Chain A
Amino acid sequence: MPAEKAITITVNGTERELSVEPRKLLVHAIREDLDLTGTHIGCDTGNCGACTVVKDGEAIKSCLQFAVQADGSEVTTVEGMADLPDAGEDLHPIQEGFKEEHGLQCGFCTPGMIMTGKALLDRNPAPTDEEIREGISGNLCRCTGYHNIVDAIQYASAELGDAEAATDGGRPRDPGGEAE
């Protein structure tokens, strides 16, 4: 029987030491060993994107990687969003966007959508609707029809852009985003 491996992952800013079987998927380590059940398991096949987390700045599906492969990496899950430097008092602007724009119904896909949205906005702070649609194409939602999810991410893009403009002393952008 292969021995467990000792790994260290910085999750939401906190260094966590774990001992895992090599076969344990990252998503299982996050949910079961670290008790961070905000990261969901939707499909078990790598299709649905509900298990998306941000690892070393990139959105990845945590069901398509073993936990041992995350040794030494930095992972952000949905639980860490509200503590990020650009978060508001209670929520991160992306989370707020889902609330304000009705970006969820059952909420199952939401953690994955939020993390994919975060990685997208980190790379492209002012995406077009088309770029958002392409960006979330690896995340399935079975209730909203995606329209409000795109609006939610646009909301966050505008909020984050305003915050940036305010610190730069520049002019705030129109927060309404592009109409479809």
Chain B
Amino acid sequence: MKAAQFEHHEPTTVDEAVGLLDSLDEPTILAGGQSLVPMMRFRLARPSTIVDLNSIDALDYLREEDGHLRIGALCRHVDVLESDTIADRYGAFADAAPLIADPQIRNRGTVVGSVAQSDPKGDWGTVVLAHDGEVIAQGPDGERSIPAEEFFLLPYDNALEESELATEIRVPVPDENEGSAYEKLKRKVGDYAMVGAAARLRVDNGTIADAGLALTAVDITNTRVAAAEEALEGETPTPERFKEAGEIAADHSNPETDEHGSADYKRNMVRVLSQRALSNALERAGGT
């Protein structure tokens, strides 16, 4: 099937893009297009106007600046996969990148687009949640920051306004004694996660000073498990603690039975993957 007719706009600056979003009738933003294009050709999406970001060169970046890792709206999955900065310090990002879709799709799909798509089965939202990240949005009234925790509202729905453009994902640069990891269960290459878990730990003098734990595909959005984080903070990082945190995460998850597995099975996988992600994060934090 062909996509329905649409008007194609190609702004070259963020201001121009925001101007278009503000003035056009129900515009849809196209970044990597690896989800949107098939949705359009099956007419699950029928936008009448497309604002295509691909000519805004200023959005193509991944860099550390002012204490944050900043990922621009045209940073592709492959850029994360091949980044030395990511490989050195951002374990959960490095774990997730090669598990997303397949090589051709990683050449085009974007991190920010995936977060803005807000599919609860998407991996990046979970990683950004565990890293205490934020989404930077540009609108007609200027820029604002939306904490990842307040960003995801429903499947495919988020806190962005119609005329706002998500220009950047920002996460704090981790301390030396901080590590993160991502674990993903899927049947085969190209699949979305059946279950995913991202963990981040900062360990000060043998005590967990800060913890992040978030889950993929087991609720209506990517979700952070605050109860498990609280149970970890102030404690010694031991397998017993991680086991307990995994159980809390499993209790707080709401998976659905589908063709890939029962809700019980997925809840059990939440427990297992959370523990694994936590032990890998600890190792990277230097605490083994």
Residues in A lying within 8 Å of B, measured CB to CB: 1-2, 5, 21-25, 44-47, 49, 52, 58-61, 63-66, 68-69, 116, 120, 134-135, 137-138
Contacts and interface: CB of A to CB of B under 8 A. Distances in A.
B54 A69 contact: yes
B2 A49 contact: no
A23 B2 contact: yes
B68 interface: no
A29 to B, nearest CB: 12
B41 interface: yes
Contacts of B243: none
Contact of A60 (B5, B10, B108, B190): B108
Given A2-B8, A5-B8, A44-B41, A65 B33 contact: yes
B7 A52 contact: no
Interface string B179-191: 0000000000110
21 contacts: A2-B7, A5-B8, A21-B5, A23-B6, A25-B3, A25-B37, A58-B107, A59-B104, A59-B107, A63-B41, A64-B33, A64-B34, A64-B38, A64-B104, A68-B8, A69-B54, A116-B104, A120-B103, A135-B103, A138-B103, A138-B105
Contacts of B2: 23-25
Nearest to B78: A58
Contacts of B7: 2, 22
Interface in B1-40: 1-8, 10, 33-34, 37-38, 40
B37 A49 contact: no
A47 to B, nearest CB: 6
Interface in B105-143: 105, 107-108
A39 to B, nearest CB: 13
Interface of B: 1-8, 10, 33-34, 37-38, 40-41, 50, 52, 54, 78, 98, 101-105, 107-108, 189-190
B190 A138 contact: yes
Contacts of A138: 101-105, 189-190
B8 A22 contact: yes
B103 A2 contact: no
Contacts of B8: 2, 5, 22, 66, 68
B272 to A, nearest CB: 25
Contacts of B50: 22
Given A46-B34, A60-B107, A137 B102 contact: yes
